[in-house]
Structure 1
Amino acid sequence: MSAGRSGPERRALPGGPGRDGWDDDVPAHSEGHPHPAGDRRARSGGPAPSGTLLVIAKAPVPGRVKTRLTPAYSPAEAACLAEAALLDTLDVVLATPVRRRVLALDGRPGDWLPSGIEVVPQCAGGLDARLAHAFGLCDGPTLLIGMDTPQVTAELLTSGLELGPKDASFGPADDGGFWALGLAEPDPALLRGVPMSVPRTGAVQRRRLTGAGLTVRDMPLLRDVDTADDARLVAAEAPHTRFAATFAALAGTGAR
């Protein structure tokens, strides 16, 4: 947990989230909007292989995302960091040659959404149920990632989709959870009932995979952005990302 501190009054970051509501009326499929020039996409010119990249995320609405970043950051600033992390993630997803790119979204897509992303609404229930439901919408090799690792690369995502018929890929997070989960054939039952957001989440999920007879291919350990200290470390690790630029801009306003 990050501790708050007194300091200069914070200014809203230009270009941050423009919505202050939370709308559950999410269309089942939504085409994204073009993103401003200057993003990090590098689309492949070759044929796209089979495979699906599945991103689970919340819409970057102040007070609804990255609440553990407060009080070090205001809700609006935390939402700016969340939006930057999500856009970095989607850029890498778009740069990875796959058959399908899906965003399972809690909330409503806005102008931040780039084109080329299929949006589906998350179901009700706990995180395990929402992850299971999202996997159930996919077929064939599928890699699930969250919005908390803006340092992820296309090479990592590609490796996570290199799955044999009885393989799974597993990306452990430094907090005991996981940042990526790949299945050769999605099976929602592998996620239902796994305790989420606790230190043993990753260990329980990995045991589910091996218990189902799958060969688990471990991916590199990554740090999730949950706290202000996480934000500082991830921004330093990935200095050319939107996330790092947003972190630096907020540092100039007195936030940290």
Structure 2
Amino acid sequence: MAKAPRSGRSKTRLCPPLHPEHAATFSAAFLRDTTENLMSAARLAAPDVSIAPYAAFAPAECEALVASALPPGIRLTLADGTPSMPAGIEGFGRCLMHAMQAMLADGHESACVLSSDSPTLPTELLVMAARHLAEPGDRAVLGACADGGYYLLGLKAAHAAPFSDIAWSTDTVATETRARISGLGLDLIELPSWYDIDDAASLRTLLNERHGYPASHTRSAIDRLGVQRGLQEPVPIAVLKNPA
């Protein structure tokens, strides 16, 4: 999920400690690392499982700006939530559903919506999601975040329920999504948890974490902007824990 990296409109919850233009720089770096990580996952999963990397972007007029932040080989698909949606799908859920519909309409047997706010997500978690979805039978794959959201949701059909009546941007998103999936009677496979970067505490976690994907563009932005100097206090956060 790729929001165009624009000053004053990208990663605003990181301001402060970041300036708006620096937050936009991080947004672009996160997007570049996330999509390069997808390409690494595609290489790692082949030839057993095929992964087709996408950037589902918004708003529509920023396609060129989003494309400029991507490596070659990433497909672009609009996901601004403008098409007609089933009742109950509102806010960010419309964008997620739009992306899911678009990828499945391209002929894929399954699709994942993936946060671009987790640039250090271990590549093997992406491969795990793809392998679970490649197995026979309808199912869902969820990768929860430590803050109560999720970094990945994978489906084999464009079910509306996982995006319906969700309190987006709250700490209940993953819990509510699990409940919607349970209501469909789908098998749910949960990946180990990770974290996304959307506030000062999670930015400190990024500065002190070295276990995931290397995220070279994000690390370069940290060094270039001198972020480490302004955020010395580490904030511990549980990562790579299996769900209870």
**Compared CA separation, residues 66 and 129, structure 1 to 2 (3 A):** same
Mapped to 1, the partners of 2:92 and 2:23 lie a distance apart of: 21
TM-score (norm. length: structure 2): 0.76
Q: Find out whether 1:180 has 2:188 as its counterpart.
A: no
Mapped to 2, the partners of 1:115 and 1:192 lie a distance apart of: 34
1:118 to partner: Cα distance: 1.2
Q: How many residues align?
A: 201
Q: Find out whether 1:246 has 2:221 as its counterpart.
A: yes
Deviates more, 1:153-162 or 1:64-73: 153-162
Mapped to 2, the partners of 1:252 and 1:183 lie a distance apart of: 37
**Compared CA separation, residues 202 and 252, structure 1 to 2 (3 A):** closer
Q: 1:126 aligns with which of 91, 106, 127?
A: 91
Letter in 2 for 1:220: P
Structure 1 contact 138–186 (Cα < 8 Å) conserved: no
Residue 14 of structure 1: aligned partner = none
Unaligned runs of 5+ in 1: 1-55
Q: Which has the higher helix share?
A: 2
TM-score (norm. length: structure 1): 0.73
SS of equivalent to 1:143: strand
Deviates more, 1:126-135 or 1:99-108: 99-108
- Runs of 4 or more, structure 1, over 6 Å off, are none
Letter in 2 for 1:223: Y
State the identity as a percent: 27
Deviates more, 1:232-241 or 1:113-122: 232-241
Structure 1 contact 235–243 (Cα < 8 Å) conserved: no
Q: 1:220 aligns with which of 178, 181, 192?
A: 192
Q: Find out whether 1:117 has 2:89 as its counterpart.
A: no
Residue 58 of structure 1: aligned partner = 3
Unaligned runs of 5+ in 2: 43-49, 83-89, 232-244
1:195 to partner: Cα distance: 1.8
Q: Note the alpha carbon deviations across 1:152-204, whole angstroms, 9 max, x for none.
A: 13211110122232221111111111111011223234313322111111100
Mapped to 1, the partners of 2:227 and 2:91 lie a distance apart of: 37
Deviates more, 1:108-117 or 1:204-213: 108-117
Q: Find out whether 1:160 has 2:160 as its counterpart.
A: no
